[in-house]
Chain A
């Protein structure tokens, strides 16, 4: 070590001394405008930070704590620490495992189908032609409609005498008699999946579109000069260019899929036979309808860990490899 001819960095003690030397000097003569920038930076963070602390971090911490007690929504009894009782109960509850299974099923179907559909839509409207804004609006329309309203409308369509069954029967000349979609354990979840994909595809289309427009047009020109086909252009220019957008879309769709609630609450209330119940739905049911705040907190905590895991895995898989 002592023989090292070209020390690339000063030994640590020297570095520390150097820092001490420059430190006070900097404090004495700050870069012009430095304090001002610092102040305005903190000023701009404050409102968001306060809101986050108050409505996200504080409830989250309280929720974690409550999961280990026997707190209830309505009760004259003092709150007691009960350890992991709630979790023991949760992991022996078949409804919870069913909810987990349902959410997994939902995510496994929705994530690939919805992102592919959204990408296809984005590719279709990423052109310059008359009326492109009209189509962009049309595809985006379901997103701005409240999920509750969408669910209510689709509920009518899914009924036994509803629009979907009428169409099926008309176009098959009476050969196909549709199911009672939301009231049959076999079709209830697929029905909710179809609706969810339709509703949120527009949102992810916009994200894809932003990604598509960030790809330089010169790359396509070069590809065309090289005689690349449309497929090759997509395969070798578009797809690699969408790398970051891809991971963003994947993570957001997965987390949204895990948090499935509105549709279930409006359309099926978890039924029939628990075929559509979800983790969040179970948490809301326990916490508000059954007044078991602590049990609902335990469910939420498990949900939190699950989301954390999934996004960590996705971050790892889609990480920068270079």
Chain B
């Protein structure tokens, strides 16, 4: 009896102790982010992409071995889906590492929240693609190795059969030409839908892919004069015109209101004639179609073709106790050969001409050079305001609702109202 009792008591105490230990973990005792001045930690979202992670790791290794290294960098990789949550969680626990990577449009939000400190790099950023340098209120908070570009893919043979010209940077399709091209492609009767806009996409894809069309019509996600209101930009005449046009593509049977999960694969399997997606699909489609592939700019709906700017970028956190070393590492990592090695692994567009020269596909005359031109000519930054994450969800929902048949004016008014209320309740997101 007495031994039994002792056993029970011991087990209970052990369990209680275990619970207390588990609870204690949240209180900053985690060893993963304890960093001395001689060792600093770097977080990346690339855990799901071994090639990108390996490229990043090799830059870190070469920096750590270099004689000028001001600290040893330690890489910690997260899966992309949980990356943002991890950063927000670490920030509220005061446990952020020194260097983080950030999805470009989130930079102002994190800068406003004082997660990030302005960059002071020895590297020259003036020659970078503008969309690879993230600024907020006049200061640079993050820099990326590259960008991606939205474009239209088609088979040259299909376009020829339909009697549609190949769009070029010099002469992109106009709204009428696009309508005409879709009508002719549909008449071929080859596909259920001639166009695939990736309408099954969710999350950041929605504002990234569809707000450029809105901007090409002359609307925008917010009035960029002072970033205080979306009224008139997101629900004005131009925006309603965009919404009706977009919904019209589905009504006329040009595209599905919900496409397949993998639109690139659908295109390659001949389920669609025209594919609207990012430059990341370039290598795969070229490999499959060879010379038959036409890579075209997106449509000019009035104000010229537009595409979203900014991809993943690097920043330094404000709580870092060795900012010097972090800045030094970032400057080092921006050397052309380093940028080129990461870009090769991720399939992006290199941030500088020097890096591009080291990658055959992006060098003068290379197959992917055209994406660099798209980025240089058409990229529009997603609004550089801390309100962006909120704007993105509201715009994404409005777009989905419009596709599902909601009244365009009503859906856009609702989003505008929510965005304006959010900005107001946050004191205008001032510094």
A binds B: yes
Give min CB distance, A206 to chain B, whole Å.
Answer: 28
CB under 8 Å from chain A, chain B span 1-23: 1, 5, 8-9, 12-13, 15-16, 19-20, 23
The listed residue (A44, A54, A185, A290) touching B390 by CB distance below 8 A is A290
CB under 8 Å from chain B, chain A span 269-299: 269, 271-274, 285, 288-292
Asked whether B406 lies within 8 Å of A273 as measured between CB atoms, the reply is yes
9-residue interface stretch from B105-113, B237-245, B334-342: B105-113
CB contacts (< 8 Å) of B403 on chain A: these are 272
Does residue A183 face the partner (Cβ distance < 8 Å to B)?
yes
In chain A, what residue has the closest Cβ to B109?
Answer: A74
Asked whether A43 lies within 8 Å of B13 as measured between CB atoms, the reply is yes
Asked whether A289 lies within 8 Å of B401 as measured between CB atoms, the reply is no
Asked whether B12 lies within 8 Å of A74 as measured between CB atoms, the reply is no
CB under 8 Å from chain A, chain B span 106-122: 109-110, 112-115
Asked whether B404 lies within 8 Å of A185 as measured between CB atoms, the reply is yes
Contacts A40-B9, A74-B110 known; A46 to B16 CB distance under 8 Å? yes
Does residue B68 face the partner (Cβ distance < 8 Å to A)?
no
CB contacts (< 8 Å) of B74 on chain A: these are none
Does residue B426 face the partner (Cβ distance < 8 Å to A)?
yes
Asked whether B389 lies within 8 Å of A290 as measured between CB atoms, the reply is yes
Q: Mark A50-64, 1 if CB is under 8 A from B, else 0.
A: 110010000000000
Does residue B344 face the partner (Cβ distance < 8 Å to A)?
no
For the complex, what is the distance from the CA of A65 to the CA of B160, rounded to whole Å?
65
Contacts A74-B110, A273-B404 known; A43 to B85 CB distance under 8 Å? no
CB under 8 Å from chain A, chain B span 266-291: none
Q: Mark A159-180, 1 if CB is under 8 A from B, else 0.
A: 0000000000000000000001
For the complex, what is the distance from the CA of A268 to the CA of B46, rounded to whole Å?
27
Give min CB distance, B100 to chain A, whole Å.
Answer: 13
Give min CB distance, B110 to chain A, whole Å.
Answer: 7
We find that the number of chain B residues with CB closer than 8 angstroms to chain A is: 37
Does residue B30 face the partner (Cβ distance < 8 Å to A)?
no
Contacts A74-B109, A74-B110 known; A39 to B426 CB distance under 8 Å? no
Give min CB distance, A311 to chain B, whole Å.
Answer: 28
The number of chain A residues touching the other chain, given as a range, is 20 to 34
In chain A, what residue has the closest Cβ to B402?
Answer: A273
Does residue B257 face the partner (Cβ distance < 8 Å to A)?
yes
Asked whether B19 lies within 8 Å of A50 as measured between CB atoms, the reply is yes
Does residue B169 face the partner (Cβ distance < 8 Å to A)?
no
Asked whether B404 lies within 8 Å of A272 as measured between CB atoms, the reply is yes
Contacts A50-B16, A273-B405 known; A76 to B114 CB distance under 8 Å? yes
Does residue A70 face the partner (Cβ distance < 8 Å to B)?
yes
For the complex, what is the distance from the CA of A46 to the CA of B109, rounded to whole Å?
43
For the complex, what is the distance from the CA of A169 to the CA of B276, rounded to whole Å?
32
Does residue B393 face the partner (Cβ distance < 8 Å to A)?
yes
Contacts A272-B400, A290-B390 known; A77 to B20 CB distance under 8 Å? no
Give min CB distance, B389 to chain A, whole Å.
Answer: 6
Asked whether A73 lies within 8 Å of B404 as measured between CB atoms, the reply is no
CB contacts (< 8 Å) of A185 on chain B: these are 404-405
CB contacts (< 8 Å) of B115 on chain A: these are 74
Asked whether A76 lies within 8 Å of B401 as measured between CB atoms, the reply is no
CB contacts (< 8 Å) of A273 on chain B: these are 401, 404-406
Asked whether A290 lies within 8 Å of B5 as measured between CB atoms, the reply is no
Does residue B49 face the partner (Cβ distance < 8 Å to A)?
no
Give min CB distance, A34 to chain B, whole Å.
Answer: 13
Does residue B62 face the partner (Cβ distance < 8 Å to A)?
no
Contacts A76-B112, A273-B406, A288-B85 known; A46 to B426 CB distance under 8 Å? no
Does residue B29 face the partner (Cβ distance < 8 Å to A)?
no
Contacts A77-B427, A183-B258 known; A269 to B202 CB distance under 8 Å? yes
CB contacts (< 8 Å) of B31 on chain A: these are none
CB under 8 Å from chain A, chain B span 33-79: none
In chain B, what residue has the closest Cβ to A185?
Answer: B404
Does residue A204 face the partner (Cβ distance < 8 Å to B)?
no
Does residue A36 face the partner (Cβ distance < 8 Å to B)?
yes
CB contacts (< 8 Å) of A285 on chain B: these are 393
CB contacts (< 8 Å) of B109 on chain A: these are 74
Give min CB distance, A175 to chain B, whole Å.
Answer: 21
Give min CB distance, A40 to chain B, whole Å.
Answer: 5
The listed residue (A46, A183, A289, A291) touching B257 by CB distance below 8 A is A183
CB contacts (< 8 Å) of A40 on chain B: these are 5, 8-9, 12
Does residue B126 face the partner (Cβ distance < 8 Å to A)?
no
For the complex, what is the distance from the CA of A289 to the CA of B109, rounded to whole Å?
13
The listed residue (B202, B390, B404) touching A291 by CB distance below 8 A is B390
For the complex, what is the distance from the CA of A274 to the CA of B400, rounded to whole Å?
10
CB contacts (< 8 Å) of B8 on chain A: these are 40, 43-44
Contacts A40-B9, A70-B425, A74-B110 known; A46 to B15 CB distance under 8 Å? yes
For the complex, what is the distance from the CA of A290 to the CA of B401, rounded to whole Å?
18
Does residue A21 face the partner (Cβ distance < 8 Å to B)?
no
Asked whether A54 lies within 8 Å of B114 as measured between CB atoms, the reply is no
CB under 8 Å from chain B, chain A span 201-216: none
Asked whether A75 lies within 8 Å of B113 as measured between CB atoms, the reply is yes
CB contacts (< 8 Å) of B393 on chain A: these are 285, 289-290
Does residue B88 face the partner (Cβ distance < 8 Å to A)?
yes
In chain B, what residue has the closest Cβ to A49?
Answer: B16
CB contacts (< 8 Å) of A75 on chain B: these are 112-113, 426
Contacts A47-B19, A50-B19 known; A72 to B401 CB distance under 8 Å? no
> Chain B interface (Cβ within 8 Å of chain A)?
1, 5, 8-9, 12-13, 15-16, 19-20, 23, 85, 88, 91, 109-110, 112-115, 202, 257-258, 389-390, 393, 397, 400-401, 403-406, 422, 425-427
Q: Knowing that A74-B88, A183-B258, A272-B404 are A-B contacts, what are 20 other residue pairs whose CB atoms are under 8 Å apart, sorted by A's residue number? A: A40-B5, A40-B12, A44-B8, A44-B12, A47-B12, A47-B19, A50-B16, A50-B20, A54-B23, A76-B113, A77-B426, A180-B258, A271-B400, A271-B404, A272-B401, A272-B405, A273-B401, A273-B405, A289-B393, A290-B390
**26 A-B residue pairs with CB within 8 Å:** A39-B9, A40-B9, A40-B12, A43-B9, A43-B12, A43-B13, A46-B16, A47-B19, A50-B20, A70-B425, A72-B426, A73-B88, A74-B91, A74-B109, A74-B115, A77-B426, A180-B258, A185-B404, A269-B400, A272-B400, A274-B401, A285-B393, A288-B85, A290-B422, A291-B389, A291-B390
Q: What are the 8 closest A-B residue pairs judged by CB atoms, nearest first?
A: A272-B404, A43-B12, A47-B15, A74-B113, A183-B258, A50-B19, A273-B404, A289-B393
